Structure 1
Amino acid sequence: MNTTQSAPHLMLGDVEVIRVVEWRGAFAPARHLVPDADDAVWRDNESWLAPDHWDPATDHAVMALQTWVLRSAGRTVLIDTGVGNGRERPGSPQFHHWQGDFLGGLARAGIQPEDVDIVVNTHIHADHVGWNTTASDGEWIPTFPRAQYLVPAADDAFYGPGNIHGPGRREDDRYVYEDSIAPVHHAGQTVLWDGAYRIDEHLTLESAPGHTPGSAILRVASGGDRAAFVGDLLHSPVQILRPSCNSCFCLDAAAAGTSRRRVLERAATERELVVPAHFNGTGIAEVRRDTGTLTVGRWH
């Protein structure tokens, strides 16, 4: 279904959080999405995985495509920009020539393209950078004319034309770069960063490589509230229970597992909320330790 929705607002200290959902539904067979998560971890946790995160009848993982909007220090920040309309994605049938109402969802949340100050791309994958641009007179131009686009330098190098023979780079990756990244470069609106990047007094970007070379998370710290917007570090809650289990989309399994464990352990220690890009349901989890293992404390 191509229904774009906006969820109620949440306050993290002085930072307002708004959720705009581009799509939600059954995405892929559970053990295709997270190949190393065995049947038992799904069945043993069916009581809370179903129906928001898993459909036991079809054994499909249930997911969402969404953008998290932050209002912080007087600015509007988008975390990832979904699939985008009318794109050539021959290797991804679910995204090929996609048509959705993402901009309508932003408008219903009170946000127009010219209101956006910063766009954060946690990594360069088709479902995270699509609305970076829109078509105009046969060309792709930045959707958000005033925004700085923060793009991980390692991903830009990997997916850009300088690495056309790089391992893991597919035909779709070339299309994604050409229609969703290169036009923002040409407009002079891109900021490439590496390691860490402070957006303002509440928001900080941090590298968490593995899913892609430049995969990043965004941390929020305001008042006594803490949250980590972790992009594709997690695709399913079973990865909180089994941090060593990667999704089928992770390019470097060892690095992804290390990043995931590090981020989740810190979340449990510092009481950070964990906000992945694709969790359905409420979309926001508390991570806790239970007899030495990680688990979901509760959903926000």
Structure 2
Amino acid sequence: MPCVDAQAGNRWNIGSIGIARIEERQAPSAFAPETFMTGFDMKVFTAHLHLMPGFYSPEQHRLVSSMHSWLIRANGKRILVDTCCGNHKERPWMPGFHQLNTRYLENLRAQGVEPEDIDVVLCTHLHLDHIGWNTRLENGRWVPTFPNARYLFSEREDARWNPRRNPATDPNRAMSYDDSVLPVVQAGQAQLLSDGDQPLGSGFRIEPSPGHTPGHILVKLEDEGEKAVFSGDILHHPIQVYQPDWNSFACEAPEVARRTRREVLAYCADEKALLFPAHFAAPHVAAIERTAEGFGVRYVPGAAA
């Protein structure tokens, strides 16, 4: 399945606040649905395929997913939510993420933004596909990609993945922390958030959303009566709207992840908040609706740049 054009249909507005999707890539993933989802049932999945066009490749029997950041222009600042996989990162245990060479920064510049223009970077959690562009390779060293940005990480998340704080950290996770988070800390650009910290200003609210990881956070946005949720990995695929009990294999606390997912879906449905997930393929953004069976999806395509 071909990637969508990097700038076509990638802009939305919440009130007066502009949001742009910065693509790293979109393609069939490395995962068959039954290996990615716990509790997966192919009959149930197949029955919902007509409601999820473009999110599954039957030829390859793979879920179709996207790697992207959300660029938010608000309060005179440029805020980047999650930073994908990054280029030139050593990820031999995950071939699909290993030594990438994507046009991510070119796609950011196509939105009229240079790396130096980013004021804030917020990572919903510290998995390698959400921290990669925190840093870039310069003269053999990892340096912050966004030299003027304040990087926001959950304190609880840092305690989980920082190998200096948690010696039991998986060596692969420690590697991604050391090349994509530690250089930011060493540069003095990191801020660790405790529950209740609200550094983004008017219209924003950061909330804990554990389950996928212990310190996962989400961002709620409201302006002129319109609302949005930047949900990170609370949901990876639209089937989880219809089947919220289906976790990804990477959810560390399954029951907590299910509860968080249902809470976010209920909020979006009841408050008419648009859902901006980290991995939904085109058209990327969803309005959630209550149905007799639970929840449903109405996709919300973006405008062209």
TM range (shorter): over 0.9
Give the Å deviation of 1:2: 8.3
1:171 counterpart letter in structure 2: P
- In the alignment, what sits opposite 2:226? 225
User: Is the partner of 2:221 in helix, strand or coil?
Assistant: strand
Change (3 A) 1:158 1:2: farther
2:291 is equivalent to residue 290 of structure 1? yes
Residue among 151, 154, 165 paired with 1:152: 154
Q: Distance in 1 between matches of 2:196 and 2:61?
A: 38
State the secondary structure of the residue aligned to 2:80.
strand
Q: 1:187 aligns to what? A: 187
1:6-17 equivalences under 5 Å are 6=7, 7-17=9-19
Cα offset for 1:195?
Answer: 2.0
The question of whether the paired residues in 1 share the 8 Å contact of 2:3 and 2:27 is answered with no
In 1, Cα distance between the equivalents of 2:114 and 2:268? 33
Question: TM-score, normalization: structure 1?
Answer: 0.94
Q: In the alignment, what sits opposite 1:45?
A: 48
Task: Tell me by how many angstroms 1:291 deviates.
Answer: 1.4
CA shift, 1:134, in A, is: 1.0
Amino acid at match of 2:63: A
Secondary structure of 1:196's counterpart equals coil
CA distance in 1, matches of 2:160, 2:195: 16
Q: Distance in 2 between matches of 1:75 and 1:107?
A: 16
Partner of residue 89, structure 1: 91
Deviation at 1:299, TM superposition (A): 3.2
1:54 maps to what in 2?
56
1:214 to 2:215 alignment: yes
Out of 35, 40, 46, which is 2:38 matched to?
A: 35
Asked if structure 2 preserves the Cα contact closer than 8 Å seen for 1:219 and 1:229, the reply is yes
User: Structure 2 length normalisation: TM-score?
Assistant: 0.93
Task: Tell me, yes or no, if the aligned pair for 2:4 and 2:282 is still in contact at 8 Å.
Answer: no
3-state SS of 2:197 partner: strand
Output the CA distance in 2 between the equivalents of 1:284 and 1:263.
Answer: 14
- Within a 5 Å distance, the mapping from 1:113-262 to structure 2 comes to 113-166=115-168, 169-198=169-198, 199-262=200-263
Structure 1 residue 242, shift from structure 2 partner: 1.2
Q: CA deviation at 1:4?
A: 7.8
Q: Does residue 81 of structure 2 align to residue 74 of structure 1?
A: no
SS of the residue 1:78 aligns to: strand
RMSD: 1.6
Runs of 4+ in 1 over 3 A off after TM superposition: 1-4, 162-166, 297-300
Residue 203 of structure 2 aligns with an amino acid whose one-letter code is H
Please give the alpha-carbon distance, in whole angstroms, between the structure 1 residues aligned to 2:119 and 2:41: 43
Percent identity of paired positions between Structure 1 and Structure 2? 32
Unmatched segments (≥5 aa) in structure 1: none
CA distance in 2, matches of 1:144, 1:270: 34
Deviation of the 1:3 alpha carbon: 8.3
Per-residue deviation, residues 100-122 of structure 1 (Å, max 9, x unmatched): 11111101111101100000101
**Partner SS, residue 5 of structure 1:** coil
Q: Distance in 2 between matches of 1:100 and 1:11?
A: 26
Q: Aligned AA for 1:207?
A: P
Give the whole-Å Cα distance in 2 for the aligned partners of 1:139 and 1:297: 44
Deviation, 1:256, is: 0.9
Q: 1:102 aligned to 101, 104, 107, which one?
A: 104
Residues 83 and 129 in structure 2, CA contact (< 8 A), matched pair in contact too: yes
* CA positional deviation for 1:45: 1.2
CA distance in 2: counterparts of 1:259 and 1:295, whole angstroms: 17
Q: Unpaired segments of 5 or more residues in structure 2?
A: none
Say how many residue pairs are matched.
297
Q: Helix, strand or coil for the counterpart of 1:162?
A: coil
Contact 1:122–1:217 (CA<8 Å) still a contact in 2? yes
Once residues 226 and 16 of structure 1 are traced to their aligned partners in structure 2, the CA distance between those partners, rounded to angstroms, is 12
Alpha-carbon distance in 2 for matches of 1:10, 1:118: 19
Displacement of 1:40 in angstroms is 2.1
Q: Which amino acid aligns with 1:41?
A: V
The Cα of 1:137 is off from its aligned counterpart by: 2.1
State the Cα deviation string for residues 146-186 of structure 1 (Å, max 9, x = none).
100000111111110235443xx432211111001011001
Paired with 1:4 and 1:154, the residues of 2 have a C-alpha distance of 37
Q: What is the SS of the residue equivalent to 1:45?
A: helix
Farther off after superposition, 182-191 or 57-66: 57-66
